[in-house]
Structure 1
Amino acid sequence: MEIIIREAQTDDSAIILECIRGLAVHVNQLEMLTATEQDIRNSVFRPGSHVKVFVAETGEKKICGFTLIFKTFSTFKASTNYHIEDLFVFPEYRKLGVGLKLLKHVKAFAQKEGAKTVDWYVNNRNTSAIEFYRKAGTKKLDYKSIYYMDV
């Protein structure tokens, strides 16, 4: 199956929301989803947005997955890097290499932008993602815990 990865456009907002909803269902956190299509338009696609979205598209122009990334900074490396906030492939397209193509695209994009690393968090309950990343040859950090505060 032909899959191309391209940068998302404003008109992709509805399908991006469907990808986000699919991810929320997959990790049993649908109740946490409050984003709307308009929220996506206003945040992801506003001028100066720090977010990039790439979509995986079939030869028939059907979106089958997405990834959302943003810039971060490493003080230890004194370099701008990228963080993957989400990567999702619709169930009917899994095991076809779509996720790996999305990962490789992000890596190539980050390299072109001069980044040293790309990182992401994985929900501990998402065992299929953990296995996918392990098979993809990625590295796992074991020396950090994530803390946050609501604002």
Structure 2
Amino acid sequence: MIRTATAADVPVIHTMIRELAAYEKALDEARATEAQLREALFGERPAAYAHIAETDEGAVAGFALWFLNFSTWRGVHGIYLEDLYVRPELRGGGHGKALLTELARICVERGYERLEWSVLDWNEPSIAFYRALGARPQDGWTVFRLTDGELAKLGAAGA
């Protein structure tokens, strides 16, 4: 079962974010707090949205956390999937596909023309899973990121 996350889900979402970060060998980079997640997902102006996958018994199997982006080429919003995570012991049960199916349904319903995400190039099981769904990598594009000191330095240059 897939459902929209509620504020009561923030602790388990936070735990799963940390589980995902550990899987991606970057636990030290996962600094978001439960309070920050609560504000981002359920504050006065939500910046992100989340869905929860549950087992038939009602246990949380995984989550998808996403936000809107905008395509200047298409002229409409899309969904950027920030995190998709299914707990290791529950993988293979259709939870990941169900979460992506729900996001695709939202895109179609709302007239969004893209559902996009990034995946680590060493994460072969996820890459194979995404390819099996019909997703294709965007060859020729490289993700760039500014954080921490570099971000502060560039931001201060514009002040």
What's the TM-score bracket when you normalise by the shorter of the two chains? over 0.9
Q: CA deviation at 1:148?
A: 2.0
Whether contact under 8 Å (1:27, 1:125) holds in the other structure is no
Matched letter for residue 77 of structure 2 = T
Q: CA deviation at 1:70?
A: 0.5
2-structure distance, mates of 1:41, 1:11: 9
Residue segments in structure 2 that go unaligned for 5+ positions in a row: 152-159
Query: What's 2:144 paired with?
Result: 147
1-structure distance, mates of 2:78, 2:48: 13
2-structure distance, mates of 1:47, 1:143: 38
Choose the corresponding residue for 1:118, options 115, 120, 125: 115
Query: What's 2:154 paired with?
Result: none
Asked if residue 99 in structure 1 is aligned to residue 102 in structure 2, the reply is no
Over the aligned positions, Cα root-mean-square deviation in angstroms equals 1.1
Matched letter for residue 5 of structure 1 = I
TM-score where L is the length of structure 1:
0.93
What aligned pairs does 1:52-91 form with structure 2 within 5 A after superposition? 52-91=49-88
Choose the corresponding residue for 2:23, options 26, 29, 40: 26
Q: Greater RCO between the two (CA within 8 Å, min separation 6)? A: 1
Q: CA deviation at 1:52?
A: 0.9
Relative to its length, the structure with more helix (as a share) is 2
Q: What is the aligned-residue identity percentage?
A: 32
1-structure distance, mates of 2:41, 2:122: 27
Q: CA deviation at 1:34?
A: 0.8
Based on CA coordinates, which of the two structures has the bigger radius of gyration?
2
Secondary structure of 2:42's counterpart equals coil
Secondary structure of 1:44's counterpart equals helix
Whether contact under 8 Å (2:64, 2:84) holds in the other structure is yes
Residue segments in structure 1 that go unaligned for 5+ positions in a row: none
Moved over 2 A (4+): none
Aligned residues: 148
Query: What's 2:38 paired with?
Result: 41
Residue-by-residue CA offset, 1:97-137 (whole Å, 9 max, x unaligned): 11111110110011112100100011122222112111222
Q: CA deviation at 1:33?
A: 1.0
TM-score where L is the length of structure 2:
0.89
Query: What's 1:11 paired with?
Result: 8
